[in-house]
Chains A and B, each alone.
Chain A
Amino acid sequence: MTSDLSIRIGGDAGQGIESAGAALARAFARSGLHVFATQDYRSRIRGGHNFYQVRAAQAAVEAQRDPPEVLLAFTRETVDIHIDRLAPGAGILYDASLPVDAGALHARGLAPMPVPLTKIAADHGSRVMTNIAGLGALAGVVGFPLARIDAVLREEFAAKGPEVVRPNLAVAEAARRYAATTYPDFVHRVPRGDARPRLLLHGNHALALGAVAAGCRFIAAYPMTPATTILEYMAAIGAEEGIVAKHAEDEIAAVCMAIGAGFAGARAMTATSGGGFSLMAEALGLAGMAEVPVVIVDVQRGGPSTGLPTRTEQADLLFAIHASQGEFPRIVLAPGTVPECFEAGWRAFNLADRYQCPVIVLSDLYLAGSLVTVEPVSLDWASVEVDRGELIDGGALDPDADGYRRFAITESGISPRALPGSPAAVYAAPSDEHTEDGHITEEIHNRVAMMKKRMRKEDTALRNSIRGPARYGQESARITLVCWGSTLGAAREAAALLSADGEPAAVLHFPDLWPFPVEAATEALTSAGLAIGVEQNFTGQLAKLIRMMTGRQLDGRILAYDGRPFAPADIVQAVHRVLAGESDVHIEPGEQRLPAETEVGVNV
């Protein structure tokens, strides 16, 4: 029995690929397996091919793994597209009616396993249940108890009534029996789980749950892949949890609404992707100038412009750090895993309140959309701290005093904040430069003092709240992979593979990117051996930032901008190229080229 199995399910949009894949992932998770499941929406090829990949393992997994051992193909094209990217001896399950040349597959050392999926679906239910037949057949060949899948299907179809549930289960069982008896000797079997309950969720949901736990009461956003599920989740639970989720007319309105809500005193956020974040640039400065706490999530996708709408990238880092005119304090976080998304979800609100400034959380499509099993303790309510910073009770202020100085100059740069609504705390916040009591002025001494006051908040944050890079693996490894964001999972696995192969490697991951933790970074890089940046962008933005802030030039850079997530094996190969003397390794496409006329773009 393998301890780590990857299954790819491919077909046309509309064939129920995603629902089948997600059901399989959940069934695996409930059996106590560690799961990583990710969807690959492809710019529409003919019927709109896409695939879903589910990895099930006995140990924790934080990345997808290629090549898969099983392909479940709902179209002939799926076989053609993926045939070169399968593990030796991989099984290919497909509908017996598809014109697939089984002999040719055999000749390549693959195991063709035709099953009359459509016929079974039609005989026991209806043709629309072909994807369910596929799941049943899969369970049959990899030896996974169908009851686990049944339970998930029952829940999924519960709302539709028993007359929908029953045939689906019958279809799954018939396909399982057929496949199990026809292909009893298939070598790749699903590992056995430890039956411990875990959660299965993606980064966007984890981030939203973190926000909810922190007491976020307001989100305004404009739909944009891959951020949309954050707004949708908040909207879905809004009525029961008392959260206002506003679909705004555009991203400028969205961030401005969040700033208005934050100004009034609610914990408020917005979520978007790079295009929307670009539109928010001016308002970012408003939050900086008026010292309004607000959380802005940028779930990155392939750029520039509309770019690769359904693909992943990490190319907004330097923009997030510099966006908007002028200079003002801001905080930029970049969680690397689903549990870190949860933590960033609540921590961002504390930092926004504590430093009364915008906090940007950088996520990406891969992290936002991949389903991962996590231990319940990493999403524990009790681990959530709520710190509203120097929020003062306006009602307790002395109404006869000289007047409330909202922007009082302090040593920390943080001015005690009273919310609008108390007689003694009345003030107006301008986006113009202003005095301590909030009146517009261009007076030179005031200007200098106010700039210093606001910027001091970054120093205070750096001293008290910002985390240095986290090291995974041994201290003085020969190789250190330097990364940020969702690259962490693949980098850690790559480091483990390299270490196992006699090349001791560690990972240095930056969870907090601004204010940049200069001292901690400098120190960590001193004992990093050969430091190689691993980033999903063209220009090596973290490497640039490190150089800008510490003077340290990384020894190599592994860069991918193909929109596909790193697989650990990609990184291992690239590291060998760096060891062989290349300083910059650009990941080249491993897939076969598709005919140009079949690539049709989609805008999302």
Chain B
Amino acid sequence: MSDARDEFDLALKPTWCPGCGDFGILSAVKDALTTLAISPHEALVVSGIGCGSKLPDYMHANGFMTLHGRPLAVATGAKLANHALHVIVVDGDGDAYGIGGNHFIHTVRRNPDITHIVEDNQIYALTKGQYSPTTPQGKVTTTSPEGAIERPVNPVALALAMGATFVARGFAGEPHHLSGLIQLAIRHPGYALVDVLQPCVVFNRAQSYDWYRQRIYKLEETGHDARDPAAAGTVAREWEERIPIGVIYAEEGVPAYEAQLPALQPGPLTARAGPSATRFEQLIARFR
């Protein structure tokens, strides 16, 4: 990790539990931005509500901690208003795939240039341990006392199915590797999902650091071709025995949503005033 991340540091100490995977994610985010030479005022970190969604409060950068499930929509508006900003969304699996599921699906296929980092601890942590959309079947939680009945969402496969142009999975226990993924995601000119395996040491002890360490392997060490949709589909479905981390899929040459809007060709909306008298008169004349 680079040491130059003080630019993003704050004196404020996170309120996360000691050992929480969110610490690793925070340091990876800061490191990625620093490595890419993006300054705090050039980035906008948007989050939802949850343990992980407190992340923008703990770093020095433009931030917006929005509503549970809504950060992608807010971030999309901000990106369309000022596409000069590097827009990053961080939220939990409940936020992203549960209450925000509809926005997730549509943001993926919309493909705005937004980096989406999901702190996937497979549990609702801030509300103290209810099952989430990614909780394994059969898991006993406070709202699934007989074990979770629904099949879990496979976020990376879902993103691929919706036409995602960049899909990666990282591990909070490997912040350096995660930083590399986040850098690629930020540089990808379109929607980029980084689903991060995030141990929650309080409400999900089953998926601990060790549990993950015994299973994860790095895709870049296997010769996986991230440009190959079929290969991506195969690794996206791997779980339990062996869990791939790294870039699962990356498609080049697809223009971002905002790059296709004629209204944005002259530059960000935020820099523009209203129409001149002449232009406005032309609009009015159509109602004669």
In the bound complex, CA of A427 to CA of B262 (Å): 31
Interface string of A167-200 (1 = CB under 8 A from B): 0000000000000000000000000000001011
Asked if B261 and A244 make an inter-chain contact with CB atoms under 8 angstroms apart, the answer reads yes
Q: Does A209 contact B (CB under 8 A)?
A: yes
Interface membership of B106, Cβ < 8 A: yes
Residue of B nearest to A373 (CB): B287
Contact of A429 among B64, B73, B84 (CB under 8 A): B64
Residues of B contacting A253 in the complex (Cβ-Cβ under 8 angstroms):
70, 73, 76, 102-103, 106
B284 touches A379 (CB 8 A): yes
Number of A-B contacts (CB under 8 A): 200
Contact string against A for B residues 38-50, beta-carbon threshold 8 Å, 1 for contact and 0 otherwise: 0111101110010
Contact (Cβ within 8 A) B57 A218? no
Q: A51 in the interface, Cβ–Cβ < 8 Å?
A: no
Is A157's beta carbon under 8 Å from chain B? Answer: no
A266: chain B residues at CB < 8 Å are: 81-82, 269-270
- Give the interface centre of B77, B105, B288 by most chain A CB atoms within 10 Å: B77
| A268–B77 CB distance below 8 A | yes
**A581 shortest CB reach to chain B, Å:** 46
Does A98 interact with chain B (Cβ within 8 Å)? no
Closest-CB distance, A26 to chain B (whole angstroms):
9
Find chain A residues with CB under 8 A from B287 CB.
Answer: 199-201, 205
Least Cβ–Cβ distance between A138 and chain B, in angstroms = 22
B273 to chain A, nearest CB (A): 5
In the assembled complex, the CB of B165 is this many whole angstroms from the nearest CB of chain A, namely: 18
A419 to B270, CA, bound (A): 9
A283 contacts the other chain (Cβ, under 8 Å)? yes
Chain B 184-199 interface mask (CB, 8 Å, partner A; 1/0) = 0000000000000000
Is A213 among interface residues, defined by CB-CB distance under 8 A?
yes
Contacts of A200 in B (CB 8 A): 287-288
B205 interface residue per 8 A CB criterion: no
Contact between chains at B73 and A420 (CB < 8 Å) = no
B residues less than 8 Å from A386 (CB atoms) = 273-274
Query: Which of B22-30, B207-215, B222-230, B275-283 contacts the other chain?
Result: B275-283
Q: Which of A384-438 contact B (CB under 8 A)?
A: 384, 386, 394, 419-423, 425-432, 438
- Complex alpha-carbon distance, A290 and B71, angstroms: 14
Contact indicator per residue, chain B 251-285, by CB within 8 Å of chain A (1) or not (0) = 00000000001111010011011110101110110
Given contacts A209-B283, A266-B81, contact A420 B70 (CB under 8 A): no
Cβ-defined contact, A256 with B81, below 8 A: no
Classify chain A: how many residues form its interface, as a range.
35 or more
Any A CB within 8 A of the CB of B245: no
Interface residues of A in 434-454 (CB under 8 A from B): 438-440
Q: Considering the complex, give the chain B residue whose CB is closest to the CB of A349.
A: B274
Q: Which residue on B lies nearest to A419, using beta carbons?
A: B270
B63: interface (CB < 8 Å): yes
Closest residue of chain B to A198, judged by CB? B288
Provided the pairs A212-B274, A249-B103 are in contact, do residues A286 and B66 lie with their beta carbons within 8 angstroms?
yes
A239 touches B262 (CB 8 A): yes
B12 adjacent to A439 (CB under 8 Å): yes
Q: A222-276: which residues lie under 8 A (CB-CB) from chain B?
A: 237-239, 241-244, 246, 248-250, 252-254, 256-266, 268
Q: How far is the CA of A268 from the CA of B269 in the complex (A)?
A: 10
CB-nearest residue of chain A to B15: A440
Bound CA–CA A19/B77 (angstroms): 36
- C-alpha spacing A473/B225, complex, angstroms: 78
A30: interface (CB < 8 Å): yes
Contact partner of B45 among A199, A381, A428, CB < 8 A? A428
| A282 interface residue per 8 A CB criterion | yes
Whether a CB of chain B sits under 8 angstroms from the CB of A217 is yes
B74 at the interface (CB under 8 A from A): yes
Are A421's CB and B275's CB within 8 A?
Answer: no
Assess whether A283 is in contact with B41, with CB atoms less than 8 Å apart: no
B281 neighbours in A (Cβ, 8 Å) = 381
Does B183 make an interface contact (CB < 8 A)? Answer: no
Q: Give Cα A257–Cα B64 distance, bound, in whole angstroms.
A: 13
B116 to chain A minimum Cβ distance, whole angstroms, is 14
Chain B: CB-nearest residue to A257: B77
- A260 engages B65 (CB within 8 Å): no
* Assembly CA distance A209 to B54 (angstroms): 40
Q: Which residue of A lies closest to B77 (CB)?
A: A260
For the complex, give the distance between the alpha carbons of A2 and B159 in Å: 67
Q: 1/0 per position for A455-480, CB-CB distance to B under 8 A?
A: 00000000000000000000000000
Residues on A lying within 8 angstroms of B by beta carbon are 30, 197, 199-201, 205, 209, 212-218, 220, 237-239, 241-244, 246, 248-250, 252-254, 256-266, 268, 282-283, 286, 290, 376, 379, 381-382, 384, 386, 394, 419-423, 425-432, 438-440
